[in-house]
Amino acid sequence: MLKRSAASESHTSTQRRTLKAALSSLSVYDLHKRLINDYMVYYHGKTNLLKRNKSRDKRDIDVIRENHRFLWDEDDVPESWEAKLAKKYYDKLFKEYCICDLSRYKENKIAMRWRTEQEVVNGTGQFTCGNKTCPESEGLRTWEVNFAYKEEEEKKNALVKLRLCSECTYKLNYHHKKREVTRNKVEKYHNLEQPGPSKEKKRKDEGSPEENYDDQEQQPNMDEEVPDGDSEDKVWREKEAAEEKSRDEEFQEYLEELLL
């Protein structure tokens, strides 16, 4: 028995050396085909083990969703490449009006997001209703909404604007009425932003009493008669004739002086 076991061990060791020498002489691609072929021969039907594990695969949109923020501060500096990708996507969004989802308005749950470049070009959310499923473009009203959301296990608030039609306005104000932004309020806000003239400037514009008195003296008397157009023409013609005569006289005197 001992002799047989020793002989079998020597035989297996010889086979290993032969197989190792055969595999070492193959290229990488040929070695791959050889191993796959042996696997299919000895483990027939177990090809599922050859498939790559895709559970950890992520697309760019998946990374953006995981690291997305509704609002980024100007001082925020992303550290990881995932956060940098999300910040780059955020910078390309337009943050004047929002697009909302009112499908769960009865539960007082409204989703909001910023508009993309294509939506701004098409006028979605500004010239058409801001509800993502509503194409209405007439009777739009602007609403200012205090959007409360949860981000990274932290409750946050943001003041956003929505443009909605009458039907979507009813859905937005289903539980409590939001603040409407009208044109008068916008104009009033802009007027408050513009600084008025200072008191010193007003005083300079009004001037002192002496200056006003001088101005009154320099002003023409409205009771005096103003010559009409014909009389003015006569005056100018008389002046021109007088100038012509004086020139002739001067020239005549000049000739007389030369002849003397």
Question: In 3D, which of 158, 31, 9 has the Cα closest to residue 95?
Answer: 158
Other CB atoms closer than 10 Å to residue 260's CB: what's the count?
5
- Looking at the chain, the number of H-run helices and the number of E-run strands are 10, 5
Decide: helix, strand or coil at residue 184. Answer: helix
Stretch 53-74: mean pLDDT:
89
- The pLDDT tens digits for 164-192 are 999 999 999 999 888 888 866 545 544 54
For residue 256, name the pLDDT band (cuts at 50, 70, 90): low
Integer Cα distance of 260 and 253 in angstroms: 11
Task: Decide if 85 contacts 63 (C-beta within 8 A).
Answer: yes
HEC per residue, 53-100: CCCCCCCHHHHHHHHCCCCCCCCCCCCCHHHHHHHHHHHCCEEEEEEE
Structure tokens at 159: 């003041």
| Contacting residues for 67 by C-beta, under 8 A, at least 6 apart | 80, 82, 83, 85, 86
Crossing angle of the two packed helices 60-67 and 81-91, in degrees rounded to 10? 90
Integer Cα distance of 70 and 160 in angstroms: 11
Please give the residue that has the higher pLDDT: either 92 or 50.
92
Rounded to the nearest 5°, which phi and psi values hold at 161?
-120, 145
pTM value > 0.85: no
Stretch 39-56: mean pLDDT:
75
pLDDT of residue 221: 41
CA 258 to chain CA centroid, Å, is 88
Does the pLDDT at position 16 exceed 70? yes
pLDDT of residue 5: 64
Q: Where are the alpha helices (DSSP H) in 143-228?
A: 166-172, 183-193, 199-206, 209-218
At residue 127, what is the residue type? F
CA distances from 93 to 78, 90, 96, 118, 162 (A): 17, 5, 10, 10, 16
Rounded to the nearest 5°, which phi and psi values hold at 36?
-65, -40
Lowest mean pLDDT among 10-24, 128-142, 145-159, 196-210: 196-210
Does the pLDDT at position 70 exceed 60? yes
